[in-house]
Every structure is written in C-alpha cells, then in structure tokens.
A and B are shown apart, each in its own frame.
Chain A
Amino acid sequence: MTGPWWPRCCSVRALRKTYRLGRVDVPVLHGVDLDVARGEWIAILGASGSGKSTMLHLIGGLDRPDKPRNGNPRAEIEFQGRNTVQFRAAELDRYRSTQVGFVFQFYHLLPELSVTENVLLGAMIRLGRLGYLRQRAPLRRRAREILDAFGLGDRLRHRPSQLSGGERQRVAIARALINDPAMLLADEPTGNLDRKTGGRILDVLAKVRSDGGQTMLMVTHDPEIAARADRIVHLIDGRIAEGPGDPA
C-alpha cells in the first residue's frame, strides 16, 4: 500500500535505544526503519517488552535515541523534512505540542481538571497565557464540538473520576486532537477496555482519521484490532518486520 508516490508523514531510520540497568546495557531497539505515509493508520504489534512503547516515545519526541556508537549509523526521525533527532529541547517541546497527539492505555487525564479543561490543556500549553486568552472562545467551541462528536457533550464539567473507562479514553483522544496534530500516537488505546468499548474507541479513531486525515501509529497486542489499520508492522527483536499475519 505504501510507495514513493505517497506523500510521506515521517520516516524512521536506524532507530536504536539502549537502556542502562546499573552496569548492564539493555538494548531494546536495534535499528528500526519505518516509513509512514501521510494519513496512514499503522498498527504496531509485538510481544510485551519488545519496545513498542519505547518506539512511540522516540517518534513522539518524548525521548531521544542512542548516540551513534561502534560504527552504528546515526538515527534519524524525519518529520516534514526535518530530523527531529537533532532538535533542541525547545524545538522538541514545540514539536510535541503542535505535531503530535499522544493517547495512552491508562488515559492519563489530570484528576483535578474537568473534562473540558483536560481537553483544553494542550491548547493552553501551545499558546501561552495571552495567546490562549485571546483565542479562548473559539477553542472552547472546538473542544465542545469534539466532545459532542464523541458523545460527551453532557459531561463537560465532570471530573475524570466521574467517567467510565471508555469515556475517559474518548476525553484523552479529544485532548490529543485539540491542537490538530499531524500525527496521533496511541499506545494500546483499548488495552484497558472490554472488547465492545474498545471497538467503540476504534470507531472514534477511525472517524477522526477519516475526518481530519491524521496519521496514526497504534500499538496493540490484539491482531483483531490491528486488522482495522491500513498496515500492520511487527516489532521483533528490536526491528520492524512488515506483514499482516503473525510472523511466528
């Protein structure tokens, strides 16, 4: 399905990540290469501990790959023609804020904030105080629209603790979307939900993608869920293996 004629969203080259546990090096990613087309929905399958989350964090600019060592090639995450690996801290913050939307398995909503405030948090961070105040009304309207579309229009003032798991995850997706990012990075978005609720979350994600054209990288354990994506990749032994089925 991918090819050079498709516009590229990002391409990952020679991505390596090694954790240090005391004196022991624990290599997790051994040189991941992946091309992601714009608007593509990729499911990433892999065993537990294979480094799926690690990969997502690297692509999302939350962490940095290994420095080139022992003749390894320099890692590269090319996003819209720029290599995010070379970004300075402020550029990386900006990148996360404007281009990336994270969705986590355990929702990670801020318990003190209402649903609307959780959704608007990303916009507050992106715009700063004055910018946010200037655009508050349209942003509030947009947050409302998204939440309405997700069936949460009557829960705007509720706290996360008053919501079910599925509702919380929908709020989290709305939060990831408020800045209109190019890329959604979802780490097991249905991992904490029953099959039916998870299915509804996937419906939401599918609709988001078809409406907004977001590129989506979704980590999952479940081949059935992965099947809804455009493309399935496997993370095996720290490398990407393409293919729809179980490679084992």
Chain B
Amino acid sequence: MYHALLTRRYLTSKVMPLLASLAVVLCTAMVLITWSVMGGFLRMLTQSGRSLIGDVRIAWPNVGFAHYDDLITRLQSDPEIEAATPIIETFGMLTLLENRTDGVLIRGVDGPSFARVTNYAETLWWHPLEKPLSKDQEGLDVRLDTHNRDLLAEIYQDGLRLKETDPATGGLESSMVLGIEVGGWNVRTDWGGYYPRVQGIASAAGAIQNRNLFMPRSGALPLLVVPLDSKGRPMEPVTRTFPIANEFESGLYDIDKQTVLVDLPALQRMLHMNAAKRLADPGAQEPTAGFFEDEAAPAPVVEDPARVTAVLVRQKNPNGDPDRFREHCRGIYAEFAGAHPDVPSAISIQIETWEDANRMMIEAVKKETGLVLVIFTFISFTAVFLVFAIFWAMISEKTRDIGVLRALGASRAGVAWVWLRYGLAIGVVGSILGGLLAWGIVTNINEIHEGIHQSGQWLGDSLVGARLSSWFGWRRPWNWYIWDPKVYVFKEIPHRIEPWKAAFVLAGGLISCLVGALWPATRAARMHPVKALRFE
C-alpha cells in the first residue's frame, strides 16, 4: 500500500522523473511512428502488387507468346485460381496537347477479365460518387454533382470495357484509359481528390479561350508504338489516335504518372500481335532436297496466332502463400507448354509474383526499415539511462526516507518495489502518452506533411525567406516536401498504426523504464538501514 502511495506522491511532486517520462514519450513515439510509416510503406508496396498485377504474372516480354486463350482456360479450370487475364506490356509515345510527347508504359488489357484479376474497377477515377471522400468535408468533389451522374456512369462503363461509342457511326470504338497523373491535366486537391484543369489558350487573334481539360469527355490522343516481328526485330512505328474513356488512380505515383491502358485487340493489331495469315519466313523453312522445287515452290502461308506478352493470374485464397502459388502456376504452364511446341518452355518462361518482380526495392525497404528501427531503438536507450540517472540521484536524495521505511518494518524487497513501481508508473505514463502522440501524428501524417510544406512555401514567399535565400544563395530551400511522391512511389504516407506494433513498442518503453529503475532499486534495497538513517 505504501508503494502505491509513495509512487503517487513522487509522481506528482517531482519534476525530474517527469522529464524521464517525457523522454519515454518521445522515444516510444519516434520508434512507433517510424515503424508504422516504414512498415506501412512496405505493406502498401507488397499489397499493391495484388491490385495491379494480381498474384502471379506469366510473361514472355516484347515478343509475347501465342495460344494464351488455351493457357487461360487451363488456368481458370484450376480450383485454386480465381481468374486469369491476357495482357500486353510495352512502351510507346503519347502525344499530349500542343504536341508535347511523353514516353509511356502501355498495357493492353481486356477490361472485364482484367477487372477480375486486379482491382481495376476500383481504380477508375471517374464514376458517380454517392458519399464524399472522408477528407472532403466540404463536398467539393465534382463526382458528387448529381447533374453529371449519367455522364459519369457512362464514362465509368466506357472505362471498364475500354470502348466508347463512336458518335459518328454509333459503333463501339477501342479507347484508352490514362493514369490520372499522365499529362498533368488533373489537379490533385488537399483532400485527396482531383479536378480537371481549365486551360486558357491564346488564339492568334489575341483572344483567350478557356479549354476544359476533362479528358474522358472529348479527349483523344495519338499513341505511337514500335511493333516487333516474331524474331524481336523492330518494324515501322505505328500511330493511332485513341479516344480517352476514363482515368485511373492506382495510388502508386509512378504508375499513375506513366501508364496508359489500351483495349487489347487494338493494341494487338498495332503491334502485329493479332491472329493473321502471313507469309512464312523463308529462312525458317527446312531447305528442300529438290533443286527445282526450290525455285518453284511458293512461300507458304501460315496462320500466325494472336500473342500477348503476359497472362496475369489471381488466386482464390487472398492470403495464400504467393511463392507456393507461383510454383503451382508453373506446373499448369508446363502442361500448357507440353501441348504447344511454339510457346516458350516452362523453364525459360518468366513466372513472377509482384514481390519477385520488385524484390530489389522491397528488400531495400525492408533493410532500411530494420536499420532505422535498430538505430532508433538504440537512441531510445537514452531513456533507460535517463531513468537510471534520475533514479540514482533520487535514491541518494531519499536515502533517509529509505532508512525510515526500513525502521518502520519495510523489507528490502518492499523498498525495491517502491522504486520499481515508480519506474513502472513513469513507463506507463510515458509510453501511453507516447503511443497517443504517435497515433495522433501517424493518423494525421499527411495533413502534417502538407502543413509543413505549406509553411515552407509561406516562409519562402515571405520577405525574410526571400532575403535569406538571396544571402545564402539557396535555390529551393522552401520546398519542404519530406515525402516526395516521385521518390516514394506512393502519393500518400501510410497512416495506420497496427495494434501489435503499438503493443510491442509500448511494452518496450515500459520495460526500458523498469530496466532503468532496476539497478537504483537494487541499491535502495541493499542500503543498510542504520547507514541510511545516519545519512546526512
């Protein structure tokens, strides 16, 4: 009982130990924030794979492979597999407004099956919205506008199938879906949404004409690709102008900035990867024995089947082990390859999970997370030493009181427990406050980040900032973006604290305090009561 009483009184009457508590607050918050953000980043990185390419990608880049329909049928008849979709991945040039061109990553997709393997449907940005996004408190999102509902619903459907109705003919026309950051026509808002830019264009006559850059409405852009022949040799570039059906937001900055999706059959035709009758390559023929026949025989016409560069596969069990699933797919591919002599063998085909494809980056982030955590945990030992030093000093100060407690009959263990309990109290207070601080910061980290950025801008724009810049020759000191989406792939900083991490770190803070208090407490317990009482 006296332990509790003394702990309570010491907690409320002593300032120094509260400083120790503050150190614990800062250390736990620091470790927890780092772990949550970096760990969250890692998780986003590994999870985004599933939403972008499904679980496994079977790929033969550039040239592609044929009979993919048969492969997909085989895959989809497997009980473990949810869906599979053919895809072409290639590069090209997109001609933006005013004839600016940008290199882009092109994915030819079959909308409906692509949406079954990936979360394509959710990434389509333009669709009617019932409820505003959580941060959009004023309801500024243009997608909320009821007048646009029908139009947006139509745009959404167009995006899903990557086709648009041609106003001239009334038929369906292959179209394109752009990453939302492509071209920079959409302005990202601070509540996490977009609105289309309005551009003023000066005409030759000197008038300014406002142009609404809402691409899905009327935009059509030329896309240039370089087809390869079946040997991988480049052919004449092909350009085709596609109307823009919709725009997508995957959350990965690089992808949203560089990727365009195109209706698969149209891209196949552009790349000469569609099924076609072609003259066989004479070099590929066995030389015939005859001497006359060689001149007389017409070049044979062969049926060249359609090709894609990859098939994406999604497994039924969302938590299934990706590596095991990859090997499972390899088995199915081996059977498929056995049935078709003209496809790459099961040994040389690329079968990868998202993590395989991004192993370098994922491993780097893992290592970095580990390293930073180790460093910060090390720094957190300062809290242990602080508690230790403060307790050591306090026990010297309280020597006489310890003697009094012993004179009143307290045992050695009882005296030790007073200090351990006190350490525990400091640890509990410190780590709970630290946890709350971390929670507050992590859940609002994007706003805080934006705030830091804006105050940097403000300072830079202010007179003082301008002076400082010119004095010291700083060029861009006021661009306080710590989390630059161009560097960190994701546009948002992860902002979730996992309970087990919090529990782990808080327990760590608590144990640090106990460890720091342990030795001083032992010293207090070992004090000779008479010497303690005689202490001046």
A interface residues, Cβ below 8 angstroms from B = 57, 60, 62-63, 89-90, 93-98, 102, 104, 108, 110, 112-113, 117, 121-122, 124-129, 132-133, 175, 179
Residues of B close to A108: CB separation below 8 A: 400-401, 403-404, 407, 533
- Interface pair A129/B533, CB less than 8 Å apart: no
Q: Which of B373-418 contact A (CB under 8 A)?
A: 400-401, 403-412, 414
Asked if B217 is at the interface (CB within 8 A of a chain A CB), the reply is no
- Interface pair A98/B409, CB less than 8 Å apart: yes
Minimum Cβ distance to chain A for residue B29 (Å): 30
- Interface pair B409/A93, CB less than 8 Å apart: yes
Beyond known contacts A57-B530, A62-B533, A125-B409: 12 more, CB 8 A cutoff = A62-B406, A62-B529, A90-B411, A93-B410, A97-B409, A108-B407, A108-B533, A110-B404, A122-B409, A124-B2, A129-B1, A133-B1
Residues of B close to A112: CB separation below 8 A: 6, 9-10, 13
Asked if B4 is at the interface (CB within 8 A of a chain A CB), the reply is yes
Take A93-B410, A110-B401 as given contacts and tell me if A132 and B1 are in contact as well, using a CB distance cutoff of 8 Å. Answer: yes
Residues of A close to B13: CB separation below 8 A: 112
On chain B, the number of residues with a Cβ less than 8 Å from chain A's Cβ atoms is 25
Minimum Cβ distance to chain B for residue A58 (Å): 9
Minimum Cβ distance to chain A for residue B5 (Å): 6
Supply 6 A–B pairs (Cβ within 8 Å), ascending by A.
Answer: A57-B530, A60-B407, A63-B528, A97-B410, A110-B404, A113-B6
- Interface pair A129/B10, CB less than 8 Å apart: no
Residues of A close to B414: CB separation below 8 A: 125
Take A62-B530, A108-B533 as given contacts and tell me if A124 and B1 are in contact as well, using a CB distance cutoff of 8 Å. Answer: yes
**When the two chains form the complex, which single residue of B2, B529, B530, B533 contacts A121, counting CB atoms closer than 8 Å?**
B2
Q: Which A residue sits closest to B408, measured CB to CB?
A: A122
CA distance A108 to B5 in the complex (A): 17
- Interface pair B1/A89, CB less than 8 Å apart: no
0/1 per residue, B208-241, Cβ < 8 Å to A? 0000000000000000000000000000000000
**When the two chains form the complex, which single residue of A57, A63, A113, A125 contacts B408, counting CB atoms closer than 8 Å?**
A125
CA distance A98 to B9 in the complex (A): 25
Residues of B close to A96: CB separation below 8 A: 406-409
Take A97-B409, A112-B10, A122-B409 as given contacts and tell me if A63 and B530 are in contact as well, using a CB distance cutoff of 8 Å. Answer: yes
Give chain A's interface secondary structure class.
helix
Ranked nearest first, the 10 interchain pairs of A and B with the lowest CB-CB distance are: A97-B409, A112-B9, A124-B1, A124-B2, A96-B409, A132-B1, A129-B1, A93-B411, A122-B408, A108-B404
Residues of B close to A127: CB separation below 8 A: 1
Minimum Cβ distance to chain A for residue B385 (Å): 25
Q: Which B residue sits closest to A58, measured CB to CB?
A: B530
Residues of B close to A104: CB separation below 8 A: 533
CA distance A112 to B405 in the complex (A): 13
Residues of A close to B405: CB separation below 8 A: 121, 125
CA distance A62 to B402 in the complex (A): 12
Minimum Cβ distance to chain B for residue A114 (Å): 9
Minimum Cβ distance to chain A for residue B31 (Å): 33
Residues of B close to A57: CB separation below 8 A: 530, 533
Take A112-B6, A113-B9 as given contacts and tell me if A128 and B1 are in contact as well, using a CB distance cutoff of 8 Å. Answer: yes
Residues of B close to A94: CB separation below 8 A: 409
Residues of B close to A97: CB separation below 8 A: 408-410
- Interface pair A126/B5, CB less than 8 Å apart: no
Minimum Cβ distance to chain A for residue B18 (Å): 14
Residues of B close to A122: CB separation below 8 A: 408-409
- Interface pair B410/A125, CB less than 8 Å apart: yes
Residues of B close to A132: CB separation below 8 A: 1
Residues of A close to B406: CB separation below 8 A: 62, 96
- Interface pair B4/A117, CB less than 8 Å apart: no
Residues of B close to A95: CB separation below 8 A: 409
Minimum Cβ distance to chain A for residue B396 (Å): 15
Interface centre among B6, B404, B411, B412, by most A CB within 10 Å? B404
CA distance A128 to B2 in the complex (A): 8
**When the two chains form the complex, which single residue of A90, A124, A175, A179 contacts B5, counting CB atoms closer than 8 Å?**
A124
Minimum Cβ distance to chain A for residue B262 (Å): 75
CA distance A89 to B404 in the complex (A): 17
CA distance A96 to B403 in the complex (A): 12
Q: Which B residue sits closest to A96, measured CB to CB?
A: B409
Residues of A close to B400: CB separation below 8 A: 108
Q: Which of B9-55 contact A (CB under 8 A)?
A: 9-10, 13
Minimum Cβ distance to chain A for residue B25 (Å): 24
CA distance A136 to B227 in the complex (A): 91
- Interface pair B533/A117, CB less than 8 Å apart: no
Residues of B close to A175: CB separation below 8 A: 408
Residues of A close to B409: CB separation below 8 A: 93-98, 122, 125-126, 179
- Interface pair B4/A129, CB less than 8 Å apart: yes
Interface centre among A90, A96, A113, A125, by most B CB within 10 Å? A125
Minimum Cβ distance to chain A for residue B405 (Å): 7
CA distance A90 to B403 in the complex (A): 16
Minimum Cβ distance to chain A for residue B193 (Å): 57
**When the two chains form the complex, which single residue of B5, B411, B530 contacts A89, counting CB atoms closer than 8 Å?**
B411
CA distance A129 to B533 in the complex (A): 25
Residues of A close to B1: CB separation below 8 A: 124, 127-129, 132-133
Minimum Cβ distance to chain A for residue B76 (Å): 67
- Interface pair A102/B412, CB less than 8 Å apart: no
Interface centre among B2, B13, B401, by most A CB within 10 Å? B2
- Interface pair A113/B404, CB less than 8 Å apart: no
Residues of A close to B403: CB separation below 8 A: 108
Minimum Cβ distance to chain A for residue B220 (Å): 80
Q: Which B residue sits closest to A117, measured CB to CB?
A: B5
**When the two chains form the complex, which single residue of B4, B5, B530, B533 contacts A113, counting CB atoms closer than 8 Å?**
B5
Take A97-B408, A102-B407, A125-B408 as given contacts and tell me if A63 and B2 are in contact as well, using a CB distance cutoff of 8 Å. Answer: no
Q: Which B residue sits closest to A104, measured CB to CB?
A: B533
Minimum Cβ distance to chain B for residue A14 (Å): 20
Residues of A close to B408: CB separation below 8 A: 96-97, 102, 121-122, 125, 175
Take A93-B410, A125-B408 as given contacts and tell me if A63 and B529 are in contact as well, using a CB distance cutoff of 8 Å. Answer: yes
Residues of B close to A179: CB separation below 8 A: 409
Q: Which of B292-310 contact A (CB under 8 A)?
A: none
CA distance A171 to B58 in the complex (A): 86
CA distance A117 to B6 in the complex (A): 10
Q: Which A residue sits closest to B12, measured CB to CB?
A: A112
CA distance A94 to B408 in the complex (A): 9
Minimum Cβ distance to chain B for residue A161 (Å): 12
Minimum Cβ distance to chain B for residue A109 (Å): 8
CA distance A112 to B4 in the complex (A): 13
CA distance A84 to B406 in the complex (A): 16
0/1 per residue, B328-347, Cβ < 8 Å to A? 00000000000000000000
- Interface pair A62/B411, CB less than 8 Å apart: no
Q: Which of B518-536 contact A (CB under 8 A)?
A: 528-530, 533
Q: Which B residue sits closest to A99, measured CB to CB?
A: B409
Minimum Cβ distance to chain A for residue B528 (Å): 8
